[in-house]
Amino acid sequence: MALVALAFSGIPSARLTVTVWPTGRGNAARVWTLRCAPVGGTLPRRVAACAGLSGAPDDAFAPVPPATVCSQIYGGPQVAAVRGLFRGRRVRATFTRRNGCEVARWSRLAFLFPVRL
């Protein structure tokens, strides 16, 4: 038990609500919560998700900058929304898979979106 606490002592504080529309917005949604430091909520694999957030940069939830050139490779209809607090900052982010930049952004935080693609 002490080893687990030591291994995850660097987990950042987070209190997030994650909503995922596996087949696109307007269809059925799945909603989970995640708390880190201490770990809790309804998201599957909460400990792994909090560990993943510990390696995430402060701007992990920032949108793709508007002038970014992205490949036009469609990744699927999935949409996710993340709301709450991360490292004491308000988070209000939407994720899609509509082009290469958005797919890469989704993939970096895929541990927050437990849906089958």
Residue pair 112/49 in contact (Cβ under 8 Å)? The answer is yes
114 exposure class (CB count in 10 Å sphere: 0-12, 13-18, 19+) = middle
pTM of the model: 0.87
The per-residue pLDDT for range 62-81, each reduced to its tens digit, is 999 999 999 999 999 999 99
Which pLDDT band, with edges at 50, 70 and 90, does 3 fall under? very low
pLDDT in tens, 11-30: 779 999 999 999 999 999 99
Residue that wins the pLDDT comparison between 117 and 31: 31
Mean pLDDT (the chain, rounded): 90
State both tokens at 77: 């209809």
In a domain, residue 33? The reply is: yes
Range of the domain at 85: 2-112
User: What is the predicted pLDDT for the residue at 9?
Assistant: 54
- Count: domains in the chain: 1
What count of other Cβ atoms lies within 10 Å of the Cβ of residue 33? 14
Report whether 24 contacts 60 (CB < 8 A). Answer: no
> In this structure, what CATH number is given to the domain that contains residue 26?
3.30.350
DSSP-based three-state secondary structure for 43: coil
